[in-house]
Chains A and B, each alone.
Chain A
Amino acid sequence: MAKGDEAAFEAVCVRVAAIVFGVARRVLRDPGLAEEVSQEVLLELWRCASRFRPGRGSAIAWVTTIAHRRAVDRVRSERRSAEREQRAGSHSIAYDEVVEMVEARLDRERVRRCLGSLTELQRESVTLAYYGGYTFQEAAALLGVPEGTVKTRMRDGLIRLRDCMGAE
């Protein structure tokens, strides 16, 4: 591969590595696993770059979507095998721990402020799904509310978050 191409790809990596790794780390928690998934995501970017169409959304949205999907798929498969091994797969860590990690490390004031503008149930639903990697059914069980309610809160929460980020 020519040096120029290497440099171009490296520039892309430098630019998106922190957000890709951050998403993977938040969802997977284990830094080693997060690194592994991050490399997969970046190589996917390289491989599938021709699928990207700027008109359909920003590059950052594209990258974070791939990163999150990969991380979530991985965390679910890890959880499944952990449950098989231990047969004690209670989700007792769930919400409190996720929120604690999120709140301790959210360095972007604006994101935190906007998350704060959501109702409690919206915030809990969105956070459990995005940072915890839980399905809406799992989130509903963890929060003790009907599945339909959680689905609606996730959608409303994202809309409110988007409006808040756009309004500032």
Chain B
Amino acid sequence: MMRPRRSELHTLAGAYALDAVSGADRARFERHLAGCRACARELQELREATISLAAGATEQPPSRLIERTVAAAARMPQLPPVAISPPAWAGARRWLERRGLRLSQAMTTTLRSPRTRAVRPRLALALVIIFVAATAAAGLVALKVEHQFSAVQRRDQEITQVLNAPDAVMLTARISPAGTATIVLSRHDRALVFTTEGLPLLPHGRCYELWLMGPAGERSAGMLPAAHDGMTSPVFAAGLAAADWAGLTVEPDGGTAHPTSAPILMLNLATANA
């Protein structure tokens, strides 16, 4: 009796992916799914196919939907923020002064009253932002990536690894004069993922460069890609050292070996101790 019942359940995968299974059948299939890795894998593939069906239905909602939803979420409790300690701030300022770099007034204010936080449970929200940004930018082409091993896929794997690291923490910080940076980092992997939202567009020939700065010296962690809808796709940076800060500067296209302008973001990664 087992075999026919199993194969019968197996053929339900398509209907289940379409939510066309209800009641007792749904429960039965979910029980089966819990113990069938092949089914789970197949279901995931079929689910990815339903994205295109969803994409075909895309429709702009009334703007009040987002306003109301954000307002409702705002009433849900949050964990307390973790602030940059005064000694750390003084250290950052000395570090900058030694290099003849000065912070803008707005940046100084941001550092003095940091809006930085390292809150473990909020991590997943950052993941959503990062992955939605990545997939939205790539559109449905993301589906294609699955079938070929490419640089993009390798990058996604590195990013996924950081995001899934058991010790991963998330930091958000304001960028001066505008924008927000979101960082997810894993000390264990000595790596971080960096993404931004709302950065001003730069004149032709200039771009944003990400830095890791600390006792180990300053290292370029790569150029930010062009923004889509105001968000930059995630940048993966490895080789993170214990006392590093993350910095962002505006540099000539192609980047430089050392920062040549005052950072518009200086973020103490040591605050990210979950």
Q: Which residues of A contact B (CB under 8 A)?
A: 1-23, 25-26, 34-35, 38-39, 42-43, 45-47, 49-61, 63-65, 67-69, 72, 76, 102, 105-108, 110-112, 114-115, 126, 129-131, 133-136, 139, 148, 150-159, 161-162, 165-168
Does B109 touch A at the CB level, under 8 Å? Answer: no
Is the Cβ of B69 less than 8 Å from the Cβ of A42? yes
CA distance A131 to B172 in the complex (A): 38
Name A61's contact: one of B47, B74, B115 (CB within 8 Å).
Answer: B47
Q: How far is the CB of A22 from chain B (nearest CB, A)?
A: 4
Contacts of A6 in B (CB 8 A): 70, 73-74
Scan residues 178-237 of chain B and give those whose CB is less than 8 A from a CB of chain A: 180, 182, 197, 229, 231
Name A8's contact: one of B125, B136, B229 (CB within 8 Å).
Answer: B125
Contacts of A2 in B (CB 8 A): 78, 81, 115, 117
Interface range on chain B (Cβ under 8 Å from partner) = 35 or more
Is the Cβ of A19 less than 8 Å from the Cβ of B55? yes
Is the Cβ of B76 less than 8 Å from the Cβ of A65? no
Is the Cβ of A23 less than 8 Å from the Cβ of B54? yes
Does B101 touch A at the CB level, under 8 Å? Answer: no
Is the Cβ of B18 less than 8 Å from the Cβ of A166? no
Is the Cβ of A49 less than 8 Å from the Cβ of B65? no
Q: A11-B197, A114-B52, A151-B14 are in contact. Are A1 and B74 (CB under 8 A)?
A: yes
CA distance A2 to B122 in the complex (A): 12
Bitwise, B152-190 to A at CB < 8 A (1) or not (0) is 000000011001100000001110000010100000000
CA distance A155 to B62 in the complex (A): 34
Is the Cβ of B65 less than 8 Å from the Cβ of A56? no
Contacts of B128 in A (CB 8 A): 12, 45, 49, 52, 59, 63
Contacts of A134 in B (CB 8 A): 20
Contacts of B36 in A (CB 8 A): none
Is the Cβ of A155 less than 8 Å from the Cβ of B46? yes
When C-beta atoms are compared, the residue in chain A nearest to B144 turns out to be A166
Is the Cβ of B52 less than 8 Å from the Cβ of A136? no
Does B21 touch A at the CB level, under 8 Å? Answer: yes
Contacts of B121 in A (CB 8 A): 50
Is the Cβ of B142 less than 8 Å from the Cβ of A158? no
Is the Cβ of B53 less than 8 Å from the Cβ of A111? yes
Contacts of B81 in A (CB 8 A): 2
CA distance A111 to B68 in the complex (A): 31
CA distance A22 to B173 in the complex (A): 32
When C-beta atoms are compared, the residue in chain B nearest to A138 turns out to be B20
CA distance A80 to B158 in the complex (A): 48
CA distance A38 to B15 in the complex (A): 23
Name B46's contact: one of A42, A55, A158 (CB within 8 Å).
Answer: A158
